[in-house]
Amino acid sequence: MSIEVSNVDHLGLVAGIIDDIGIVEKINQRLGNDKQERITAGLVVKAMILNGLGLVSSPLYMFSGFFEGKALKHLLGSFIEAQHLNDDRLGRILDELYKYGLSIPLLSL
């Protein structure tokens, strides 16, 4: 029998609040889903929020390293791996958010 231990810290609470608010679904609804991408825009934004509240100050190219050793299955979903959260994907989502218009209430109903 083998046991795998993963770290969640306070990010489990933050992820739960993000899920309760429905941020992922609202962003996906407004930005749409690219079938070629493994991770939706909403999940990338959720990952950015978790990273920002993880008290880590690092450049985007090191973003996936933040999630290594974390319980990604519980924070973001069972199909997501740390290498899926790379700086290229983050850059594309940030560009999409900018095109959508950041002054428009993205999360309003």
The Cα 49–Cα 85 span in angstroms is: 13
How does 45-71 read in b/e, with b if 16+ C-beta sit within 10 Å? bbbbbbbeebeeeeeeeebbebbeebb
CA angle 24, 20, 39 (to 5 degrees): 25
Structure pTM? 0.84
Angle between helices 23-31 and 87-100 (to 10 degrees): 70
pLDDT, tens digit, 9 for 90 and up, residues 52-92: 887 667 777 888 888 888 888 888 988 888 888 888 899 99
What's the CA gap between 32 and 9, in Å, rounded? 31
